[in-house]
Amino acid sequence: MSSFEDADTEETVTCLQMTVYHPGQSQCGIFQSIRFFNREKLPSSEVVKFGRNSNICRYTFQDKQVSRVQFSLQLFKKFNSSVLSFEIKNMSKKTNLIVDSRELGYLNKMDLPYRCMVRFGEYQFLMEKEDGESLEFFETQFILSPRSLLEENNWPPHRPIPEYGIYSLCSSQSSFPTEMDENES
């Protein structure tokens, strides 16, 4: 028998692909610590944190408007299922996390849909899950979008809410409040 015949069967790995966008991404270096386009393999037991504190978070944003720990993702397996799922939890006391149209306050969590838009402030993440067989590992992959994901994917607009009423220097929004009719999107 050859070594090829004796080799273990390679399992496919669940991958969470995250396409990201921020209007100030080209000037401010917000995503400079994220490696784009490469798949990163992580143990399935790891809770993946996103925020500005590089000592705590695996993925950091160079932006003082982001909380030290903004949100976390954790892999889990539902009862009587072989498919791995992600749950997303808002870890910010200052800013709500919007998953599609659901708003999560501090410590609120929910199952991450297969394809969804995650937003906070002016950050936009299109998250898409690709199922795999492995229970030991999963992968993450980041893609940088050159334009707004809300416009590109026809998601309903949602105005970002600044923390404490102050926009960052990289903000593309006006610092003046805008009145909207409640029937407008």
- Which is nearest to 86 in space by CA: 98, 103, 73? 73
- Write down the pLDDT at residue 150: 82
CATH number, domain with residue 83 = 2.60.200.20
Half-sphere exposure (CA, 13 Å, Cβ side) for 50?
A: 23
Give residue 11's pLDDT: 83
pLDDT of residue 28: 81
Q: What is the pTM of this model?
A: 0.77
The number of distinct structural domains making up the chain is 1
For residues 15 and 24, give the distance between their C-alpha atoms in angstroms, rounded to a whole number.
Answer: 27
Mean pLDDT of the chain: 83
% of the chain with per-residue pLDDT over 70? 77
Contacts (Cβ under 8 Å, ≥6 apart) of 133 = 11, 12, 13, 82
pLDDT digits (tens, 9 = 90+) for 33-47: 999 999 999 999 999
In sequence order, which ranges of 69-172 are alpha helices (DSSP H)? 149-152
Distance CA(67)–CA(93), nearest Å, equals 8
Structure tokens at 84: 């791995």
Greatest alpha-carbon pair distance for the chain in Å reads 74
Q: Is residue 32 in a domain?
A: yes
**Considering the domain boundaries, does residue 72 fall inside one?**
yes
Residue 178 included in any domain: no
Which tokens go with 33? 């610590």
What is the domain extent for residue 35? 13-144
The pLDDT value given to residue 166? 39
Quick one: pLDDT at residue 172?
41
Structure tokens of 128? 């898409």
Tokens 């050859």: give the residue: 2
Q: Is 67 strand, coil or helix?
A: coil
On whether residue 52 sits in a domain, the answer given is: yes
Sites in the chain below the pLDDT cut of 70: 1-9, 152-185
63 within domain boundaries = yes
Spatial neighbors of 57 by CB under 8 A, at least 6 apart, are 49, 50, 51, 68, 69, 70
41 assigned to some structural domain: yes
HEC string of 27-76 equals: HHCCCCCCCECCEEEEECCCEEEEECCCCCCCEECCCCCCCCCCEEEEEE
pLDDT of residue 102: 95
Is position 173 within any domain?
no
For residue range 122-132, list pLDDT tens digits in order. Answer: 999 999 999 99
